[in-house]
């Protein structure tokens, strides 16, 4: 399982290494390449405000306007077909992070690219996020980049980032960036870095994903389990031990308060302290 996204109708989209799943009212609908998905290896999934579902795969980006899939590749303006991350900015443009840089699809259908030649400090993009004020955060396999006020700023372990390989980014309502890296979890408030590593009680050395809840709790996944950061304090909630598998790959939350957790051993839904588990036999893609 690679990625999770909540639909405006409250249903869940699940990216996996073998297709895309959609869970609605306890019923699964699965999509594969034969159904129009660009590729069965889904690296990322995002639901736009208009309800369109976007995926990044190893063979281009896909847009799902029920019931039609549209694929975008190099021939359409994408920088390369290997897409690791997808998100949308405050102007509803679609941003795609690829192994060769950023590609942007504007509402008018025009494409633009941002690479190292344009100032992007590292072109192998692994994660993307936007703050409410339009600040863009770009994770790569060589550090983190921020684009604001028409200029790029790069951050690496030399600046306080816990690891240079960035796996995921989320930005809270205060504009604080939370960054999951192979060296732990980083928090940047605009002036200083704070880090949470295995030495601080993080369950695993690699922070694989991070999601910020509405109450400002940071949920962080590692290859060895779940943790939370509340008011700066790292802890492992008792409920974390009930996850389907300790290898956490994705986290998101729904408006009903449920927390969805993707793992290497299945999908978990946490409500309070109670888990519901979904596996390939339940089924998943």
Query: Domain containing 68 — which CATH number?
Result: 2.130.10.10
Give me the domain span that covers residue 18: 3-219+227-240
Task: Decide: residue 81, CB within 10 A, 0-12 exposed, 13-18 middle, 19+ buried.
Answer: buried
**Model-level pTM greater than 0.75?**
yes
- Whether 100 is in a domain gets the answer yes
Residue 155 lies in a domain: yes
Residue 178 lies in a domain: yes
Question: Are 211 and 219 contacting, i.e. CB atoms less than 8 angstroms apart?
Answer: yes
Mean pLDDT of successive 10-residue stretches along the chain, which has 285 residues: 95 96 94 97 96 97 97 96 96 96 95 90 94 96 95 96 97 97 97 96 97 97 97 94 95 96 96 91 58
pLDDT digits (tens, 9 = 90+) for 35-58: 999 999 999 999 999 999 999 999
Residue 285: the pLDDT is 63
pLDDT for residue 118: 87
C-alpha 4/C-alpha 253 separation (Å) is 9
Our count of domains for the chain comes to: 1
- Is there a domain that residue 262 lies in? no
Q: Tell me whether residue 125 is in a domain.
A: yes
In-domain check, residue 277: no
**Other CB atoms within 10 A of residue 100 CB:** 18
Q: Is 279 part of a structural domain of the chain? A: no
Distance of CA 219 to the CA centre of its chain: 13
**What is the widest separation between alpha-carbon atoms in the chain?**
50
Would 282 be classed as within a structural domain?
no
State residue 284's pLDDT score: 61
Task: Say what the pLDDT of residue 223 is.
Answer: 96
């Amino acid at each position: 399982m690679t990625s999770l996204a909540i639909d405006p109708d409250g249903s869940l989209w699940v990216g996996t290494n073998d297709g895309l799943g959609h869970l609605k009212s306890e019923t699964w609908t699965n999509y594969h390449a034969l159904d129009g998905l660009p590729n069965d290896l889904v690296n990322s999934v995002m639901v736009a405000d208009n309800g369109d579902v976007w995926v990044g795969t190893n063979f281009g980006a896909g847009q799902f306007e029920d019931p039609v899939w549209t694929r975008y590749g190099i021939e359409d303006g994408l920088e390369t077909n290997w897409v690791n991350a997808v998100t949308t900015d405050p102007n509803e443009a679609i941003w795609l992070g690829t192994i060769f840089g950023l590609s942007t699809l504007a509402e008018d259908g025009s494409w633009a690219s941002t690479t190292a030649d344009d100032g992007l400090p590292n072109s192998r993009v692994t994660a993307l996020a936007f703050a409410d004020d339009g600040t863009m955060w770009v994770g790569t396999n060589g550090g983190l980049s921020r684009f604001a006020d028409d200029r790029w700023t790069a951050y690496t372990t030399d600046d306080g980032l816990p690891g240079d390989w960035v796996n995921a980014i989320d930005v809270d309502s205060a504009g604080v960036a939370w960054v999951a890296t192979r060296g732990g979890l980083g928090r940047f408030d605009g002036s200083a870095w704070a880090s949470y590593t295995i030495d601080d009680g993080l369950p695993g050395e690699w922070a694989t994903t991070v999601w910020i809840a509405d109450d400002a709790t940071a949920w962080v996944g590692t290859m060895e389990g779940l943790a939370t950061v509340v008011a700066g304090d790292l802890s492992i909630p008792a409920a974390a031990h009930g996850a389907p598998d300790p290898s956490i790959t994705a986290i998101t939350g729904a408006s009903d308060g449920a927390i969805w957790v993707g793992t290497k051993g299945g999908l978990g839904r946490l409500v309070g302290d109670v888990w519901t588990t979904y596996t390939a036999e339940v089924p998943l893609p």
